[in-house]
Structure 1
Amino acid sequence: MQLDLPASGGAVARPFYRHLYFQVLVAIAAGALLGHFWPSVGEAMKPLGDAFIKLVKMIITPVIFLTIVTGLAGMTSLRGVGSVVGKAFAYFLFFSTLALIVGMVVANVVQPGAGMNIDPATLDPAKITSYAEKAHETTLTGFLMDVIPTTMTSAFVEGNILQVLFVAILFGISLILIGDKAKPIITLFEAAGAAVFRVVDILMKAAPIGAFGAFAFTIGKYGIGSVVNLAALVGTFYLTSLLFVVVVLGAVCWFNGFSIFRLIGYLKAELLLVLGTSSSESALPSLMEKMEKAGCRRSVVGLVVPTGYSFNLDGTNIYMTLAALFIAQATNIELSIQDQILLLLVAMLSSKGAAGVTGAGFITLAATLSVVPSVPVAGMAIILGVDRFMSECRSLTNFIGNAVATIVVSRWEGALDQDRLEAALGGRPFGKVRPVTNLAVAPAGLNIGEASAD
């Protein structure tokens, strides 16, 4: 697909209806109408959304592996790998913790659950049994052990992002150590990368169908009316996430020489896809491709984006502390400062490793509450009906946070081409950013100027 250029550049702009973001927007609107007026038909559309997400998951593994391996192979030493990983995790830890604190502060100030006066004894724990069981399976030790695959090939078969990341880093490091002998393998992987990203382009053609099916199912099954009963919580969460993106991440973008609004505009097709499917994973391949197109070095994109999908979940973190305090307020449970600090510390651990898929935030919330005895896990039944609607906001916030992290870490590494960033975002930078010339070259056949979204 060709990159649209202004008329002065000699290229003819395509009609608006041929842009993916417009098609996805229309599909979401159509799905909402179908789910609202014909709920049973809307619920029946679920396979369309599930099928599209399966198609995307099918390609995520080779995208991550090939991007990381070819990116690392372009590095001259292992010091560069350690530098990127160290800076990325420092960024993740700081802003993930900040998101938890923001959710806690907002919950204490707004108190969306106050006045509901729900008796915990009347809650039905059976509704959240399956989530609680999954939460008990998610321990820190179990999570760390799960990063190591049973075999090198099993990581690709099971599709575990962190396992694929682990294998890819090891393989990429081995290519660095081999040196010139690795050139034939690198050439092969670069050609394979070009083919894989072309598959991504093909799969994105089906994005409107997937968004239509997923959104029709959500509205048909849960209905807009389910939001009304817990409007205070949903509204508070959406507003808090919006302020976090605009104010906190916006300030980060400003200090690093670009605009959060232009970045959102640049990723509009992916954001609409995330909104329609309630899963940030559905846009992971496109995000990696677009970050390269925006001037971020491939090795940085390959390390930061997949890792961020498990360790940089701003939306999930805001949700966890906000929802936990909402449950306590709704059931008239007073939490002391010590209780809230304990909740914060537990959430810092349990939030790590949550995948960018629908329901992961609810499971991590169950894991957090199971360790903090002050708040009943059964209280999650209060918000079960609207969790799907909050999942969309979680995914959007997580997605934007990872896009910002990729650009910022690239700049810190001196691996950001400012001219390409400015061209992609369509505006001049706000700050003075050191230009970078030593960037990894795109593999033969892969036109980074081509994006699956537009």
Structure 2
Amino acid sequence: MHYEPTIPASHTAPGRWYTHLYVQVIVAITAGVLLGHFYPVAGESLKPVGDMFIKLVKMVIAPVIFLTIVTGIAGMRDLGSVGRVALKAFAYFLFFSTLALIIGLIVANVVRPGAGFNIDPATLDAGKIVQYSQKAHETTLVGFLNGMIPDTLVSALAQDNILQVLVVAILFGVSLASIGDRGAKVLSLLDEVSIVVFKLVSIVMKAAPIGAFGAMAFTIGKYGVGSLANLAQLVATFYATSLLFVFVVLGIVGRLCGFSIFRLIAYLKAELLLVLGTSSSESALPALIEKLERAGCPKAVVGLVVPTGYSFNLDGTNIYMTLAALFIAQACNVDLTLGQQLLLLGVAMLSSKGAAGVTGAGFITLAATLSIVPSVPVAGMALILGVDRFMSECRSLTNFVGNAVATIVVSRWEGRLDHAQLDAALAGRPLPDAVLAAPTPAPAA
């Protein structure tokens, strides 16, 4: 089915340059940086503006995910393919999440960004990270699994928990598909509701430049561009490693699957700028779902892979974890053996899944990892607390691109990716309504 685009895209009718969302967001981010730098008090006071926009987006995330998954699964009718898609998605997530951890580990050993700091852990203010350590201890594997199950069928839609919405939507979609033609009226109703909800998303997204302006003004006003200077090597190393992962690793994946990572990034430029401005990949989640469907990915695959990837396919967060952990060890003159580094890698693999869906997951997951590996002082996290906000933007951007690539790859593995539609979307060519409205092709045998 054909949804109205949530944002102005390159394949829509060309309007005046200032009407494009990505242009408006660029202007807003620039204005936010200038205000935060020259008038830091005023910039810091704009935090509620950014927070309110993110709350607006989160308001529609649950219904968007629910409707996308339910209508996608119910439209497939082949319930066996649902499990197959999920299995392929988790195989992809596991491989590339582990690869991201390994790359972060290798880069940290080669570049050694923390060498020469000579920090005595006893002199660090560990009180600043107590709240993160407490959240890390609360995030156990059992607690995580238990937290995936909502209290009631409808409570998942009222709470900020993507995994709970995912569970309810899959169960509802499978139930709807299993009753056959008797569920046709319900499916038709949900299709109509989807149109209304995606129109609501397009209205909310018009406020994106305002949200990006407030969030960026707060970040620069509170932390200041100058706070990057002391830890510039760590921040630069992290950004360079993330770029390496996106353009080389994901670029090779894209090449093997028949698309260019550069064109994909250009296609998603408005969403990426929004993620940059708000430091939250969730702010662009509804738009990502719509754009991937428009680029030839079947609704059922998009509905399963994107929300799940937001919790389990955190490539940027994984690079950050091993890189930051070794930075702290190097800064505190703690020499880790190969065995200790492999232990750190193994713990990070588990803790990165345990903190899935937790706000500020990157820093919390790092606290969880260091608390289990006693060789690296948890108090050392105070060293990077001041620049974590700047690194969170890069984490979010890398996670966002990683999930877009994962969805296209899994769609191709399923034999359900419309290559002609993908090529047209990434090239910026117009997509005929007849193509967009065409039914999703049947799964490959």
TM-score bucket (shorter structure)? over 0.9
* Cα distance in structure 1, aligned partners of 2:316 and 2:357: 10
Answer whether contact 1:249 1:260 (CA < 8 A) is retained.
Answer: yes
Show the counterpart of 1:166.
Answer: 167
TM-superposed CA distance for 1:359, in Å, is: 2.2
Q: Which amino acid aligns with 1:272?
A: L
Task: List structure 1 segments (4+ residues) > 6 angstroms apart after TM superposition.
Answer: 1-6
Aligned pairs for 1:11-410 within 5 A: 13-355=14-356, 359-410=360-411
Judged with a 3 Å threshold, the aligned counterparts in structure 2 of structure 1 residues 95 and 5 are, in CA distance, closer, same or farther, namely: closer
* Cα distance in structure 2, aligned partners of 1:26 and 1:352: 36
TM-superposed CA distance for 1:427, in Å, is: 7.3
Show the counterpart of 1:445.
Answer: none
* Cα distance in structure 1, aligned partners of 2:388 and 2:290: 30
1:237-282 residue CA offsets vs partner (Å, 9 max, x unmatched): 0000000000000000000000000000000000000000000000
1:412-445 residue CA offsets vs partner (Å, 9 max, x unmatched): 00111111101110079xxxxxxxx96169xxxx
Unaligned runs of 5+ in 2: 430-437
Judged with a 3 Å threshold, the aligned counterparts in structure 2 of structure 1 residues 41 and 202 are, in CA distance, closer, same or farther, namely: same
The TM-score normalised by the length of structure 1 is 0.92
Judged with a 3 Å threshold, the aligned counterparts in structure 2 of structure 1 residues 212 and 440 are, in CA distance, closer, same or farther, namely: farther
* Cα distance in structure 2, aligned partners of 1:134 and 1:12: 48
1:140-165 residue CA offsets vs partner (Å, 9 max, x unmatched): 11111110111111111112100000
Q: Which amino acid aligns with 2:17?
A: F
Judged with a 3 Å threshold, the aligned counterparts in structure 2 of structure 1 residues 427 and 4 are, in CA distance, closer, same or farther, namely: closer
Unaligned runs of 5+ in 1: 429-436, 442-454
Name the count of aligned residue pairs.
429
Answer whether contact 1:281 1:357 (CA < 8 A) is retained.
Answer: no
1:61-119 residue CA offsets vs partner (Å, 9 max, x unmatched): 00000000000001122210011000000000000000000000000000000000000
* Cα distance in structure 1, aligned partners of 2:377 and 2:245: 28
Answer whether contact 1:74 1:440 (CA < 8 A) is retained.
Answer: no
Judged with a 3 Å threshold, the aligned counterparts in structure 2 of structure 1 residues 137 and 358 are, in CA distance, closer, same or farther, namely: closer
Answer whether contact 1:4 1:14 (CA < 8 A) is retained.
Answer: no
* Cα distance in structure 1, aligned partners of 2:358 and 2:252: 27
Answer whether contact 1:310 1:353 (CA < 8 A) is retained.
Answer: no
**Identity score, percent:** 72
Answer whether contact 1:279 1:356 (CA < 8 A) is retained.
Answer: no
Answer whether contact 1:155 1:164 (CA < 8 A) is retained.
Answer: yes
Answer whether contact 2:116 2:331 (CA < 8 A) is retained.
Answer: yes
1:16-70 residue CA offsets vs partner (Å, 9 max, x unmatched): 1100000000000000000000000000010110000000000000000000000
Answer whether contact 2:69 2:170 (CA < 8 A) is retained.
Answer: yes
Answer whether contact 1:52 1:207 (CA < 8 A) is retained.
Answer: yes
Show the counterpart of 2:433.
Answer: none
TM-superposed CA distance for 1:124, in Å, is: 1.1
* Cα distance in structure 1, aligned partners of 2:398 and 2:276: 10
Q: Which amino acid aligns with 1:420?
A: Q
* Cα distance in structure 1, aligned partners of 2:231 and 2:97: 26
* Cα distance in structure 2, aligned partners of 1:192 and 1:12: 26
The TM-score normalised by the length of structure 2 is 0.94
* Cα distance in structure 1, aligned partners of 2:81 and 2:208: 36
* Cα distance in structure 1, aligned partners of 2:358 and 2:117: 30
* Cα distance in structure 2, aligned partners of 1:438 and 1:254: 27
* Cα distance in structure 1, aligned partners of 2:215 and 2:381: 24
* Cα distance in structure 2, aligned partners of 1:71 and 1:78: 11
Q: Which amino acid aligns with 1:227?
A: L
Judged with a 3 Å threshold, the aligned counterparts in structure 2 of structure 1 residues 12 and 324 are, in CA distance, closer, same or farther, namely: closer
Answer whether contact 2:318 2:352 (CA < 8 A) is retained.
Answer: yes
* Cα distance in structure 2, aligned partners of 1:420 and 1:388: 37
TM-superposed CA distance for 1:356, in Å, is: 6.5
1:118 counterpart SS class: coil
1:351 counterpart SS class: helix
TM-superposed CA distance for 1:177, in Å, is: 1.0
